[in-house]
Amino acid sequence: MKSKRTSRSSLRYQRTFSREDVDQVTPAQRSEIMAKVKSAGNQSTELRLISLFRAQHITGWRRNSVLCGKPDFVFPRIRLALFVDGCFWHGCPKHCRMPNSHRSYWAKKIIRNKARDVQTARVLHRSGWRVLRVWEHEIKNNRLPARLMLAVQQGR
């Protein structure tokens, strides 16, 4: 009995794998594993902002705060929480470009991120903190946004 030979290109179209076929863990286990992955933040954006703070002689800021929403920077003395929002992840009206694949997933994801941002701001305001959100693109030109400078100066 002769086996029928097929080319590799035809195999590519005959085999379709679902995530269940490939993944070695259950969806619940995968969720638990992914929940343990800790974000290190947007390192390049944060480092750029640190260099801008130092160039402008702005002091009193701290990183890695345990406040609600984990602000990128806090100014404890003036109770200012600073978030640097990535243009894609937080839906910047100027720069957010939706991927062509899985558009509905990404749209829902960004809507959830925006809703969480609003909720985080409410919680912090109720706790007596001022909240300032800066878009990632606002610090790319190596200048601090005027509203950030104003917020820091007003608090002093």
- For residues 145 and 60, which has the higher predicted lDDT (pLDDT)? 60
Q: Where are the alpha helices (DSSP H) in 16-69?
A: 19-22, 27-35, 43-55
Distance CA 140, CA 94 (A): 14
- pLDDT tens per residue, range 22-40: 667 888 887 787 777 665 5
DSSP 86-104: -TTTTT-TTT----SSSHH
Nearest to 84 by CA among 137, 121, 122: 137
The encoded tokens of residue 54 equal 């130092």
User: Mind listing the domains of the chain with CATH numbers?
Assistant: 39-155 (3.40.960.10)
Task: Report the pLDDT value the prediction gives residue 9, as an integer from 0 to 100.
Answer: 52
- pLDDT tens per residue, range 97-137: 776 777 788 888 888 988 999 999 999 999 999 999 988 88
CB 133 within 8 A of CB 113: no
Residue 3 has pLDDT above 70, yes or no: no
CB 121 within 8 A of CB 68: no
Q: What is the mean pLDDT of the chain?
A: 79
- For residues 77 and 96, which has the higher predicted lDDT (pLDDT)? 77
Burial of 48 (0-12, 13-18, 19+ CB in 10 A): middle
Task: Report the pLDDT value the prediction gives residue 48, as an integer from 0 to 100.
Answer: 85
Distance CA 53, CA 61 (A): 9
Adjacency order of strands within the sheet including 73-75: 73-75, 80-85, 130-135
